[in-house]
Amino acid sequence: MSTDDDLLSRLEFAPEYEILGVVDPGGVGRVGQGVPFGDFKWTVSVPLAAWKPIGSQLRTSGLNVRKNVQEAEISSCLGNVEPYDVIRLRVRIAIEPRDDVTEALLIELIGKDSSDPELRSHAIKLQEEVSFVDPLLGKFVLNRGLNWFESTVDWCGSPISLTINAEIPIEVEKSLVGAKELWDSQEEWHQRVLTCASKHLLSLKNEGWLQMGEPDLTEGEFLKMLTLESISIEPDGLFEFWFDDGEIFFGHSIMVSGTLAEGPKDAGIHG
């Protein structure tokens, strides 16, 4: 049994509560899990950015409400709720005084319920724009669903998305310092990243991803088909360059990762 399964099993014996909550900007979700020689199961999740037991105080620490279900149960569990909706649920949760509760077992998603003014106000506040402007890289806006700041910037003459994977100001500043190091030597970094992509993926293409009758790609042909779409950078200098593959790998994205200190180190296909 996985750690998550063990947690949900223990919550089956926790007290039952009826709660109201604001759906997190990332929205509800589901994750499939293959079981060897058994049924395929799903874990549905309803993350709440803020919540309260009926008649109790507001909690803003967040709560992830989950349940393991069969595929046929997914729609009935998740309903038609959207990010920022205020909803009513029945859950099992171990609530202790001053406890920073993060997980709950879903019993029933009753539906949307906008009767609580405090939660309605919180939902509106969550939708307000959070942004800042950097003199070199322009305006960054917080993508609440993905929990990062993003901007559209110019890279080697083409517009791309730049994402800053940081939340607190000091981490944002560190990420911006790293981004500017990349931007100061765009052409050099671009060529280093392309070389890394070719080193790790060209032979993979030619040995296993050619269509019937398709000739081997040369390095020049391979690199010409890649289109940079986004760059992400973190406070510790870790970066990822994401490319459209030009159908080299039938529509998968190509990601090259590395650090400012060591340069591009790895490349792979995703999605």
Which tens digit of pLDDT belongs to each residue from 220-237? Answer: 999 999 999 999 999 999
Rounded average pLDDT over 58-80: 87
Q: How far is Cα 227 from Cα 207, in angstroms, rounded to an integer?
A: 22
The beta strand positions in 98-179, using DSSP E, are 103-112, 131-134, 138-143, 148-155, 158-164
Q: For residues 14 and 6, what is the distance between their CA atoms, to the nearest angstrom?
A: 13
Token pair listed for 245? 């593959």
What is the pLDDT averaged over residues 108-133? 96
Give Cα 102 to chain centroid, integer Å.
18
pLDDT tens digits, one per residue of 231-267: 999 999 999 999 999 999 999 999 999 999 999 999 9
Q: What is the DSSP letter of 216?
A: P
Q: How do strand 63-69 and strand 103-112 relate by DSSP bridges?
A: parallel
Structural domains of the chain, with CATH: 3-124 (2.40.50), 131-270 (no CATH)
Q: Give the model confidence (pLDDT) of 2-14 as tens digits.
A: 556 677 778 888 9
% of the chain beyond a pLDDT of 90? 76
Residue 41 has what pLDDT?
79
Range 214-221 average pLDDT: 96
Q: Work out the average pLDDT over 90-97.
A: 81
The residue among 30, 21, 19 whose CA lies nearest residue 76 is 30
Torsion region of 226: left, alpha or beta (phi above 0 gives left; psi -120 to 50 gives alpha):
beta
Q: What is the pLDDT of residue 75?
A: 83
- b/e burial code for range 204-219 (CB count within 10 A of at least 16 → b): ebeeebeeeeeeebee
